[in-house]
A = this chain, B = another copy of it.
Amino acid sequence: MQMKTGVEQSVCALMILHMLPEKAVLPGEVISQRIGASPTYFQKLLRKLVSADLITSVAGSKGGFRLKRKPEHISIYDVYVAVEGQQSLYSSCGIIEDVLQATKDSTSCLLTHLMEEAEHAWQKTLKSANIATMIEQMSHEKYKSYQEELKQWITEKMVM
């Protein structure tokens, strides 16, 4: 039970796309190079982000990807759902009801209620942060100079 690496890669990609000037786009392969992910697999991740309406794609020559929403409206939880889907962390097998030989009732599982509560608390934290707050942290701290280098790199690689 561990989160996919795709979530971290996606968050990173969204942070990069956030630094793009308005109307500019960045090809998927360029992003994958910077992130160090396999190009073909990373493209699939980007398509998931497109399906989830987090980014927009532009086909054809001079095509690429760009943020669709404002970064403060893309929570880390949104990214998680886009990559991993909406399935909950726990799904009851109804074993406890089976053992008691009680009638199966989808809402009755003693464990399910607890697990849902736990997951809700987990989600709440993930919803409390977004791409904008991540960028903000990056700007505040020791990353400042590195961020400048990244911006420079983006202006070289982007296409209008």
Residues of chain A having any CB pair with chain B under 8 Å: 1-5, 7-9, 11-12, 15-16, 34-36, 76, 84, 87-93, 95-96, 98-102, 108, 110-111, 114-115, 117-119, 121-126, 129, 134, 137-138, 142-143, 146-147, 149-150
Contact = CB atoms under 8 A, between A and B. Distances in A.
Given A12-B99, A35-B95, A122-B119, A1 B111 contact: no
Main secondary structure of the interface of A (DSSP, over half): helix
What is the total number of copies of this protein in its complex? 2
B1 A95 contact: no
Shortest Cβ-Cβ A-B pairs, 8 listed: A118-B125, A121-B121, A100-B146, A122-B122, A3-B90, A118-B122, A102-B146, A12-B95
B16 A147 contact: no
Nearest to A31: B99
Contacts of A15: 96, 99
Given A118-B125, A125-B121, A89 B3 contact: yes
A1 B34 CA distance: 26
A110 B131 CA distance: 11
Contact of A102 (B3, B12, B88, B142): B142
Given A118-B122, A122-B121, A93 B1 contact: no
